[in-house]
Structure 1
């Protein structure tokens, strides 16, 4: 599957008890063992659920027979989905023809379901209680219960399953009697138990078991059952419940394990391995409708084997022009046609009998078989072969199957094919308060007056499912597992030569070996062969220049020295021995290592070149961006300082734009040049007579630079310093009320100046004072006494004030 990315299927065949179910388990375990080497949690979860689903389906779909302790009473086909790496990601299960139960549970569970421990207490399974079994029921029950939890069944769903099984066992114990014309249930207490287990009402269950509702036009009447009809309805109801339960379990498992949200564009191609584990060919002392369907299924699968292996392979050799001597084999298509042919086959005759108006008996069905198939070479009955005393009149007929002759009893064929279940039972289950039970019976919502289409018969449904199964298998590449049963005594130490020889013959293994031995182990079209192995030869790698793919394949094979072990067809190459194929695979594996190293080298070089180009492009972008930022800055400076010579302050108020990082030193130099130019412009406005004084001040400033922290040149003129909180935070709160009081008293308009000063007298004594100048007076104050006014001088009397 991984090598060719092609869907495959594994068909396991053999008689009942030959080991098909065990073989399917080994296949599942093998797949689980070799996949997911990286131990991904999700893959492990899927694998675990796929394995656990086997034991759950076995518990509900297998039964003990006189030939097999664990006989599959249903057919199972499981598709396992794999991702592109070959790890399982999900699956899907199809089931076929379940033959229509609780043992091993704890005492507490059995008590809650009102069941007894002994199997012999229940009519449906008391026969099995008399047979010895190698199965440990208690251990197997625990395994199944744990598996259902692992798969994802909810606790309430598991409990519902137990209740349904218990209800079926109790149904089998119901006994009917007739009082006059009125049917009655002898053990009525069991009805209340069944009603409780099925979450319905006791009176409705009792009414449904004893009568049925019939619609005649618009009228609806209740028709009482006879004792025989009541027993038939009870058994049909029990079988239908079990079948619905089994199909629901399969559906729930599919909902959980199916692949969801798988996108091939993201996750790669999804491939499939199908595993078919289906009932084997059966010959019992009393063979009925179920054995007829099972053996028909085996005929269909044998026909598929004949078509794919024996017939198509030989036809392919002839079609491709490969020298070949035809090998004869028995083609069982004649038996398949005997069963399923339209209008003439046994199934068609059985359906016609079931659809006839009036009472149709099994004897009438057998008579129809005699009339239409009496001359068929693989059909016989006592009427067509009067000397055969093994066959009973009006009861038995024989079919010569590929595996041997089987005598079928026609008794029960009509009823089992109709598979009739009164509509009352469906409505009973649909109206159950248990949601799981309700969902199993969706057709129960139809009222009795609603006309429904006649359902297909059991045989037709089975035939359609077999045709669909064969079509599905034919679309995949098949692999076969043939199981041989060594003896009929279920003993591991007895090998019955005659018994095994018979199985080898009817399975067609002898013809298969002859075809394989005389034929070729492998064949492939030239195009696909080249696609896989062209790296082996220098003439075909990476592409050949020969006239055709066939010539290229010949060149490749000759270079490897395998020309004596192959044959060339018109469109395919045929390789006789597997050894040649294995050698080609080894050569391919060796070359793949070199190819991978070469691809890694090329890819690394490509990545390096891509990184270099990206880096170069980034540097180019950065360079052009920096150039753009520089130009933008220069243009912005030119725009802001345009006409600066005509401004009153020569551009002092103009804000410089933020330079890019690369131009910060350039900005400093440019600002220095601008400041020098502005200074020169200001100096031009100073009169020549004041220039010596300005030069002296500049010289003084240069001399004092670094000597005092603040020369006052950087301070803005405040005037009223005593009222300024930043300058005198500790006194501003005291001075302001005094200043307001003086304003009220002396009526001044503006404060011109205020500050702290120090007075030095002729004795060099220093005292703190405060000067407060308004537009009317000059005040001398004492700051140590809350700015008490010491002296007031009118401003017009002051000519000079030096501080």
Structure 2
């Protein structure tokens, strides 16, 4: 009625009258039984029956032989009848008094409580009472049952119980027998007929509007995902769209559905929509998670990028603080230790180091005149080979190259120049790279004074005693395969050639200058230019060479002879006797 729904009253039997007959204080069966048990003197079951017949003689649900002497179904002084909802039940009062007293002496309870068995001890908590303590009279069995039933009803009232009513088809537990009388009795006793009549006359389902809208809004496109109007209007939209307006009633706070078929249809429509909704929710949740992950990744990359810029800035500032005054330093920052670069900048740092080396080389070369730069290039080529391996290689003096064309080495320069011009016009070379007086030995172990002329295309041997006349054709520079020099101060130089006949020389000059380093620089530089590869140069005390197709060993010995250097044979070894001043 509080929801404003019209309803039809259904008559049904209220079992409260039977409950009051049994348990009503001072007037119920249990109260009369307890009163009889508490009386002094000999109390019998017959006296208990007479007391009930006197106090309940006007109750239409109670009958005894005293109240109705004509009822032959009841025995005198023994039986009484209670008319229950499901039918009449005849009770015999024999043993009621003894069973209700449930006499159990306190000493026996204390005995069981003091048992060593914990289970027995827990069953008799009343035994904990001391003998000297004053105790109340123990409750009767009927009162104890009444108290238990009240506690059970209170527990059920605090819950939302769902009753399952079980019907026994027969008494013999057979799956093929159906006792119609027994089943009808159970149906009547359980009140199922009234329950069905109430359900038919009322509404099978009721739910608050907000819960209904939340549960079934997904079956209507106008209410999904959120309804912007009143809750009851959203509920009406759902019902109207499904075509169930004639089977529902709208209360003040709840919707009432009459037939279960309507509820089943709503649930079925909800189940059909659920997979698509689940997919939608999964898609949205996955999208949200993916967007969150993407934002996290973007944040990570942003932090990494900012951190890399920070490290790069720190590295640049560190380099600036260390190399800021490199221009004014004597070595232009060669001795400065580079700061440790970030991992991502290591390739770039290598480029920076090379750029610094090129700038340093530029700063050094900028102090060298254009005329001196070819000589510096030769010294660099010779230094790559000889530094740390030969004691002196003449890098402190000026390298002039064509010494036979200078008067400090050759007093007859005109003869030499005339012969060189003739060879230039004949063989077509461009210029003389190196020339010098030498001591030369051959495959016959003969030592002779000669001149060596190295041009950009050929190597010539000239006879210094015959106006520098060429001794045969020139050897092409492409035939050179390597060089060998000694680590000492002597001027031994071996030019290895293809064909098995190397040039074994000892450089000579009037002022005793070191010129082996210059010869190595000239040959290696030119071979690198024409062959695009480095020439192999050996620095060793015991050299080997090929003369006349045979391998020979060449060593250097210092001597006190003042006649100048000379090659001699000692067994199978050629020895350069180098004067020791």
- What TM-score does the superposition give when structure 2 sets the normalisation length? 0.56
- Contact 2:81–2:88 under 8 Å retained in 1: yes
2:316 to 606, 615, 634: 634
Q: Distance in 1 between matches of 2:297 and 2:98?
A: 83
Match in the other structure for 2:288: 606
Q: Secondary structure at the match of 1:481?
A: coil
Match in the other structure for 2:190: 507
Larger Rg: 2
Q: Secondary structure at the match of 1:377?
A: coil
Match in the other structure for 1:90: none
- 1:621 is the counterpart of 2:279: no
Q: Distance in 1 between matches of 2:137 and 2:313?
A: 90
Query: Against the structure 1 CA distance between its residues 704 and 565, is the aligned structure 2 distance closer, same or farther, given a 3 Å change threshold?
Result: same
Q: Secondary structure at the match of 1:380?
A: strand
1:478 to 135, 154, 162: 162
Match in the other structure for 1:331: 14
- 1:417 is the counterpart of 2:100: yes
1:373 to 56, 59, 66: 56
Describe how 1:113-512 pairs up with structure 2 within 5 A: 320-354=3-37, 361-452=44-135, 456-474=139-157, 475-476=159-160, 478-486=162-170, 497-512=180-195
1:516-552, Cα deviation, whole Å (9 max, x unpaired): 3344333333333333222223343334455550x44
Query: Against the structure 1 CA distance between its residues 597 and 695, is the aligned structure 2 distance closer, same or farther, given a 3 Å change threshold?
Result: closer
Query: Against the structure 1 CA distance between its residues 490 and 392, is the aligned structure 2 distance closer, same or farther, given a 3 Å change threshold?
Result: farther
Count of residues in correspondence between the two structures: 397
CA displacement at 1:659 relative to structure 2: 0.9
CA displacement at 1:663 relative to structure 2: 1.9
Query: Against the structure 1 CA distance between its residues 455 and 514, is the aligned structure 2 distance closer, same or farther, given a 3 Å change threshold?
Result: same
Q: Secondary structure at the match of 2:275?
A: helix
1:704-753, Cα deviation, whole Å (9 max, x unpaired): 37xx9x7799xxxxxxxxxxxxxxxxxxxxxxxxxxxxxxxxxxxxxxxx
1:557 to 239, 243, 247: 239
Describe how 1:649-728 pairs up with structure 2 within 5 A: 655-671=337-353, 700-704=382-386
Q: Distance in 2 between matches of 1:644 and 1:632?
A: 19
Q: Distance in 1 between matches of 2:138 and 2:329?
A: 105
Query: Against the structure 1 CA distance between its residues 553 and 677, is the aligned structure 2 distance closer, same or farther, given a 3 Å change threshold?
Result: closer
Match in the other structure for 1:538: 221
Q: Distance in 2 between matches of 1:470 and 1:490?
A: 31
- Contact 2:209–2:231 under 8 Å retained in 1: no
Describe how 1:743-762 pairs up with structure 2 within 5 A: none
CA displacement at 1:680 relative to structure 2: 9.8
Q: Distance in 1 between matches of 2:347 and 2:178?
A: 103
Quote the RMSD (CA, aligned, Å).
4.6
Q: Secondary structure at the match of 1:376?
A: coil
CA displacement at 1:420 relative to structure 2: 3.5
CA displacement at 1:481 relative to structure 2: 2.0
- Contact 2:8–2:202 under 8 Å retained in 1: no
Query: Against the structure 1 CA distance between its residues 358 and 656, is the aligned structure 2 distance closer, same or farther, given a 3 Å change threshold?
Result: farther
- 1:579 is the counterpart of 2:250: no
CA displacement at 1:632 relative to structure 2: 2.0
Q: Distance in 1 between matches of 2:288 and 2:46?
A: 83
1:133-174, Cα deviation, whole Å (9 max, x unpaired): xxxxxxxxxxxxxxxxxxxxxxxxxxxxxxxxxxxxxxxxxx
Q: Secondary structure at the match of 1:478?
A: coil
CA displacement at 1:482 relative to structure 2: 4.2
Larger relative CO (CA 8 A, sep 6+): 1 or 2?
Answer: 1
Q: Distance in 2 between matches of 1:699 and 1:515?
A: 117
Unaligned segments of structure 2, at least 5 residues: 367-374, 393-540, 543-553, 558-579
CA displacement at 1:664 relative to structure 2: 1.7
Q: Secondary structure at the match of 2:91?
A: strand
1:275-330, Cα deviation, whole Å (9 max, x unpaired): xxxxxxxxxxxxxxxxxxxxxxxxxxxxxxxxxxxxxxxxxxx5555454433222
Q: Distance in 2 between matches of 1:765 and 1:492?
A: 124
CA displacement at 1:553 relative to structure 2: 3.2
Q: Distance in 1 between matches of 2:167 and 2:191?
A: 13
Q: Distance in 2 between matches of 1:676 and 1:628?
A: 28
- Contact 2:65–2:80 under 8 Å retained in 1: yes
- What TM-score does the superposition give when structure 1 sets the normalisation length? 0.42
> When you count helix as a share of all residues, which structure comes out higher?
1
Q: Distance in 1 between matches of 2:301 and 2:555?
A: 75
Match in the other structure for 2:274: 592
Q: Distance in 1 between matches of 2:36 and 2:354?
A: 117
Match in the other structure for 1:274: none
Q: Distance in 2 between matches of 1:650 and 1:765?
A: 43
Query: Against the structure 1 CA distance between its residues 476 and 694, is the aligned structure 2 distance closer, same or farther, given a 3 Å change threshold?
Result: same
Q: Distance in 1 between matches of 2:221 and 2:211?
A: 18
Q: Secondary structure at the match of 1:407?
A: strand
Q: Distance in 1 between matches of 2:328 and 2:212?
A: 91
Match in the other structure for 1:270: none
Query: Against the structure 1 CA distance between its residues 423 and 623, is the aligned structure 2 distance closer, same or farther, given a 3 Å change threshold?
Result: same
Q: Secondary structure at the match of 2:211?
A: helix
Q: Distance in 1 between matches of 2:250 and 2:145?
A: 43
Query: Against the structure 1 CA distance between its residues 711 and 556, is the aligned structure 2 distance closer, same or farther, given a 3 Å change threshold?
Result: farther
Q: Distance in 2 between matches of 1:368 and 1:387?
A: 20
Q: Secondary structure at the match of 1:385?
A: coil
Query: Against the structure 1 CA distance between its residues 566 and 620, is the aligned structure 2 distance closer, same or farther, given a 3 Å change threshold?
Result: same
- Contact 2:65–2:79 under 8 Å retained in 1: yes
CA displacement at 1:362 relative to structure 2: 4.1
Query: Against the structure 1 CA distance between its residues 553 and 704, is the aligned structure 2 distance closer, same or farther, given a 3 Å change threshold?
Result: same
